Amino acid sequence: MKKTIKLLSLTLLLGSLLMIYSCSEEFLTKEPPGVAAGSVMKTPEGMESLVISVYERIQNGQQSMFGAAMASDFTYAGACSDDCYKGTSAGDQSNFNLLERYEALPNNPYLENRWNACYDGVARANVTLEFLWETQEGASPLTDDRAKSMEGELKLLRAWFHMQANKIFEKIPYVKTSVELGDLAPEDVPNTDAGWSEIEADLQYAIDNLPETKINGEAGRVDKWTALALKAQAFMYQNKPGEAKPLLDQIISSGRFSLAPEFYYNFDMENENNSESIFELQCSTSATAHSAVNGSGCNFHQLGPSSCGGWGFYQPSQWLFEAYQVDDDGLPILNVEDRVTIENDMGLDSEDYFEPTEHPLDPRVDWLIARRGVDFLGWGIHPGNDWIREQPNGGPYMTKIFMHKRHQQVLNLNGSGFYNGNNFRILRYASVLLWRAECAVADGQLDLARDYVNMIRERAKNSTPVMGRCLVYQNITSDSPVDWDQPAANYLIEPYPDVSGLYPFDNAANAMKAIQEETRLEFATQNHRFFDLRRWGILEPVLNAYILHDQSFRSFMGGKTPAVFRDGEDTYWPLPQSQIDLQKGVLTQSSYY
């Protein structure tokens, strides 16, 4: 699909089917020129184009990059967790501030953006399913195998869009086609639960009917393995490891996936669709257009040579940075009270003297977090404040995963430079291994859980670290001396010792803490954290500890209370009031709001 298939707007398409302009009786039979009519689309070629238009909704365009943030989920998974702050300036995107402070009410437009994005995707999937069924009854049907696999694609995507809704809203309407709903109109479907049974049914259809290889050889398509991984994720989100385990085992035993040899390959434009990728959003740019992931341009630096017109959102927290410290054996420090405070350049100008920490760190930290004194993807040694939009508000760090390396600038043709063609890995094999480790703990197989965690740690150990030891500590410029043969910092990482009964794999509680921390270190600033904390049942204590820790570091956190978690139960956002008003008597708002 990438760079080769033109995305069709299904909304415009369906509207065009109703537009007939003519001054003669030929309007009864004549197809309107310049539009895609139903007879054109109800063909194998037309159906393939319609399916692509459903995939397009995963990206969801610039108009709701914050409130929707579909594939990357940076708003809800990252900035509403302990991974990152909203960043940028204090007054920018004030509705974002309310989400970050857990003060969002039903009238917050971000929630409407997310709702609309999810159900726009659902609507496209449903309309395309109905077109498919009508096509199969017409003169130009698809082959039976392709029709079933196409239905599997569409039902998987429908399930994914509903999962993106139930991550945010505790109870959602599961909207199917008019054919499936029968006498019930789509707008009359109530939100009685999270929709898990329907999600599982759609994903099971996909498992049963999707091929094991990518359709048409197109990397961005879903396949049977995507369906298995998504259904396993659905079970993990419901705390049903026993039901996720056989699905995860099927993926692992297939031999089709492996961890990429380098950790950074999961964020690198030149290593897209690698052996670790299970579901990957395909992105590209041209001189006039883009299909970039939400979170790219807005999360770029606003200042410095790598800014590309970025806005400086999504800045990692000090709490996250300190999570990457390790002990003398290269192992993570699982108890936060045992971690030391690591020096940072908060409040310092780039001209001021600052010597980065020599504390041993997990090397993944500098592939995920941009900080002073460390090379930023070939764009130069980060000078600190000179590249930060508003340090007192957002802190001294920036994310790295959305940005391309300097030598890859030639691959990004978008005229403004605000977007790039860096794919986003929605699901990757590392998650499968860590979920399987959780299942092993549930089964009391602590050594097996350690083995899966160590697969992740071994890859990190054997990956190339960020290179380039900066030899000066103030007034950093492009001419500052750097020893490019040395790692940028004091990196140290080792797997857990292969000894039964040794901490932290000595009991289930400690083993789970190790898995949770490994998940955090592997997937920081990606699309996991808030939802992981919630499913693990530790959202409230972790976020409260984070707030207390970082409020001395960042004034915005002062007085911040996670009111949405006050009762320890309601860990979702409210349904948008605009939707409640549209569907009066059908949708029910959470009693908390």
pLDDT value at residue 440: 98
Delineate the domains of the chain, giving CATH numbers in brackets: 10-256+574-582 (1.25.40.390), 297-527 (1.25.40.390)
Percent of the chain's residues with pLDDT above 70? 91
| Local confidence band at 552 (pLDDT 50, 70, 90 cut-offs) | confident
| Local confidence band at 21 (pLDDT 50, 70, 90 cut-offs) | very low
pLDDT value at residue 102: 85
The closest alpha carbon to 151, from 219, 217, 215, 229, belongs to 215
The closest alpha carbon to 309, from 442, 409, 194, 429, belongs to 409
Residues 90-135: tens digit of each pLDDT: 999 999 999 988 888 999 999 999 999 999 999 999 999 999 999 9
| pTM of the predicted model over 0.85 | yes
Residues 538-550: tens digit of each pLDDT: 998 999 899 989 9
Strands (DSSP E) along 192-258, which ranges? none
Determine the Cα–Cα distance for residues 450 and 460; give it in Å rounded to an integer.
15
Q: Is 587 exposed, middle or buried (0-12, 13-18, 19+ CB in 10 A)?
A: buried
Determine the Cα–Cα distance for residues 43 and 139; give it in Å rounded to an integer.
8
* 16 has pLDDT over 90: no
